[in-house]
Amino acid sequence: MVKVAKFGGSSLSCASGFENVKEIIRSDADRKIIVVSALGKRHSSDAKITDLLINVCFCAKNGTNYKKEEDEIKSRYIETARSLGVRLNESADFSFLKDVSRLSCAYVVSRGEYLSAKIAAEYFGCSFVDAADVVRFDSNGNVDYTVSEKLFSQKVSGYPLVIPGFYGAFPNGEIKLFARGGGDVTGAVLARLVKADLYENWTDVPGVMKADPKIVPDAEVIPYLSYEQLRLLSSSGAGVMQEDAILPVKKAGISINVRGVKTPFCAGTVVSSQRKSAEKGVYGITGKRGVSVIRTVKHSDARRETALADIMRVLEKHGVRIEIVRAGEDAVTVIAAPSERRAEAVVDELRRLPVFFGVFYRDDLSLVTALGAGAKDVSSILNALEEKNVSVRFIDTSPSGERFTVAVDVSDYERALRAAYGAV
Ligand code: ASP
């Protein structure tokens, strides 16, 4: 039996995290492929190594000094390695920090996972396999499974092994990163490559939670989900697993087990093609704080289709992630992902289009979504929001009836989420 086990940065933020993960790996000999992230935050005001590395690239590009970030990155890895009794070759391992402006940003950022995996492999007593040698992208930036499978069988001679998450390489060896949180994708890709029996995704909460435990402390673990339900939860704001990590395992029919490093005795959440029939009704309450709302009003003689096509072209051009689109007779409203930095450029461009009479923008709303909500749940949620004096600014239901979303003021976000959770 082969299990791929992925551990995120919050589980590997310091030496004690590595110690805990080592125990987890040791307790099951089937955990043969271990995927790790760069060191994450040790506490809420701490920095993630990936963010520090991104800052380093940004400074190098702008010709500004990044000594502070450089020192912090080095000291965190050196301290972690030293506490674990692992030797780092400091001059070689950190040489990339001397040459940042001559290296690609993807390469520099990938060093976070690379160094974590080096330390983890030695400390866990596993072999180290570089993701650049086995996760291969084609020229369009998609994972090339045929080539990756071949490379994997050539490079890997035995288990257990540790491999850095979040990156792979193009055929010319150039490093390419997955989107943020992409260690989850590496785990899923490897599970598919080796036809694993299970993909374990270890995180800092006991499983996929019915609501964000930071806002709803008594939120329960969801025991079973289908792939589609997990994808909907992830895309509606549950920060549990990177959305792109679901498809590779779904295609291969491999189950995912989301589990907590602090609660290894809990079974966590099992995600497979079938959700257990006992699990009916609302299975998750998620949300997004501070979404961008763009409302356009077209001239009355302009065609609605023209207005919609113009908006979509501009959003597509700027790569904006759309949450909800509502097209009325004269107005089209688009709700885009939180802190969508491109929103202002989009609004400027829309304002210059002749089809629109007015373009309005705000970013002080939040979305609260109930997944699996039936008509009764919808009315209970609306009643609960009214009872808590939360003003509902907008309501949206997906055509399948699977997703019910309300937009509320940012200041009401947490209250609304708790009220919705309590109502179902
Ligand atoms: N270290 C990367 C990030 O912070 C990837 C990951 O953690 O999965 O996004």
Q: Are 264 and 24 in contact (CB under 8 A)?
A: yes
Stretch 346-369: mean pLDDT, rounded?
Answer: 94
pLDDT in the model for residue 364: 92
Whether 8 lines ligand 1, by a CB cut-off of 6 Å, is yes
The closest-lying atom of ligand 1 relative to the alpha carbon of residue 8 is 7
User: Residues near 40 by Cβ (< 8 Å), separated by ≥ 6?
Assistant: 8, 9, 10, 11, 12, 13, 48, 49
Structure tokens at 207: 């499983």
Stretch 188-194: mean pLDDT, rounded?
Answer: 97
The whole-angstrom separation of Cα 347 and Cα 396 is: 23
The closest-lying atom of ligand 1 relative to the alpha carbon of residue 185 is 8
How much of the chain, in percent, has pLDDT values that exceed 90? 87
Whether 180 lines ligand 1, by a CB cut-off of 6 Å, is yes
Q: Is the pLDDT of residue 46 over 50?
A: yes
Least confident of 51-55, 159-163, 393-397, 412-416: 393-397
pLDDT in the model for residue 97: 95
Across all residues in the chain, what is the average pLDDT? 94
Whether 165 lines ligand 1, by a CB cut-off of 6 Å, is yes
- Of the candidates 359, 369, 361, the one whose C-alpha atom is nearest the C-alpha of residue 407 is 369
Residue with the smallest CA separation from ligand 1 atom 5 is: 181
pTM: 0.91
Whether 239 lines ligand 1, by a CB cut-off of 6 Å, is no
pLDDT in the model for residue 279: 58
Stretch 408-414: mean pLDDT, rounded?
Answer: 96
Residue with the smallest CA separation from ligand 1 atom 2 is: 181
According to CATH, the topology of domain 284-423 is VC0802-like (3.30.2130)
Structure confidence by residue, pLDDT tens digits, 112-140: 999 999 999 999 999 999 999 999 999 99
The closest-lying atom of ligand 1 relative to the alpha carbon of residue 113 is 1
Whether 38 lines ligand 1, by a CB cut-off of 6 Å, is yes
Q: Is the pLDDT of residue 358 over 60?
A: yes
The closest-lying atom of ligand 1 relative to the alpha carbon of residue 178 is 5
Q: What is the CA(214)–ligand 1 centre distance, in A?
A: 20
Structural domain spans, the chain: 3-272, 284-423
The whole-angstrom separation of Cα 196 and Cα 152 is: 13
Stretch 57-83: mean pLDDT, rounded?
Answer: 96
Whether 259 lines ligand 1, by a CB cut-off of 6 Å, is no
Q: Assign 277 a pLDDT band (cuts: 50, 70, 90).
A: very low
pLDDT in the model for residue 278: 45
User: May I ask the CATH class of domain 3-272?
Assistant: alpha beta
Structure confidence by residue, pLDDT tens digits, 239-259: 888 989 999 999 999 999 999
Whether 9 lines ligand 1, by a CB cut-off of 6 Å, is yes
Q: Assign 380 a pLDDT band (cuts: 50, 70, 90).
A: very high
Whether 50 lines ligand 1, by a CB cut-off of 6 Å, is yes
Stretch 187-199: mean pLDDT, rounded?
Answer: 98
Q: Is the pLDDT of residue 62 over 60?
A: yes
Among 12, 53, 113, 184, the mutation site with the greatest number of ligand 1 atoms within 8 A of its Cβ is: 113
Q: What is the CA(9)–ligand 1 centre distance, in A?
A: 7
Whether 82 lines ligand 1, by a CB cut-off of 6 Å, is no
Positive/negative CA dihedral, 297, 298, 299, 301: negative
Q: Where are the beta strands (DSSP E) in 207-319?
A: 224-226, 255-260, 269-272, 284-298
Stretch 52-79: mean pLDDT, rounded?
Answer: 96
